Amino acid sequence: MATELEYDRSLYGIEHDAGPFEVTESQIQAFSRGIAETNPIYTDAAAAKSQGFQDIVAPPTFCTIMVHRVSLPDIGLKFGGKPVTGGMHAGQRVQARAPITAGDHLTASSHLKEVYPKTGRTGTMVFIVWETTFRNQDGTVVADVQESFIRRG
């Protein structure tokens, strides 16, 4: 029930910033290897340049490994009066806005989007949703990532 859910609601509207982080060739290659990506523009700078890119290109969900670099506060979640900690990843959305290439410097800005309860096979859960916007050195938004976490009540 909504009234049983307590957390720090003052977090709404606050942006948490981090960066800039340099995107390196080796990071992109390691990420591509991790997802078994073999398209040469994601693994080889020469191939990427021959297709008109500045440098090796990051696969479209690359920013998902950088979201955690933003230091996010504990929302102080309590359900029915009891603190609820831990959590598993419930869902993710990536909107790829512009290509990311090696040599880019990205900044990240995150805010709390939503907190709500629901029930399922494993009991009562609380969903916590954070949104993060990534911009490159030109101020261009390169990606928006939305992450949803479950905590069990």
**Would you tell me which residues interact with other proteins (CB under 8 A)?**
1-2, 27, 30-31, 33-37, 39, 41-42, 51, 57, 59-61, 64-65, 68-69, 86, 88-96, 99, 116-124, 127, 146
- Which of residues 75 and 79 has its CB atom nearest to other proteins in the complex? 79
- Which of residues 54 and 92 has its CB atom nearest to other proteins in the complex? 92
Rounded distance, CA 75 to CA 77, Å?
6
- Which of residues 93 and 105 has its CB atom nearest to other proteins in the complex? 93
Rounded distance, CA 139 to CA 59, Å?
20
Taking the complex as a whole, the smallest distance from the CB of residue 70 to other proteins amounts, in Å, to: 13
Taking the complex as a whole, the smallest distance from the CB of residue 75 to other proteins amounts, in Å, to: 18
Rounded distance, CA 128 to CA 107, Å?
22
Taking the complex as a whole, the smallest distance from the CB of residue 93 to other proteins amounts, in Å, to: 4
- Which of residues 8 and 37 has its CB atom nearest to other proteins in the complex? 37
Rounded distance, CA 100 to CA 92, Å?
19
- Which of residues 75 and 115 has its CB atom nearest to other proteins in the complex? 115
Taking the complex as a whole, the smallest distance from the CB of residue 151 to other proteins amounts, in Å, to: 12
Taking the complex as a whole, the smallest distance from the CB of residue 15 to other proteins amounts, in Å, to: 22
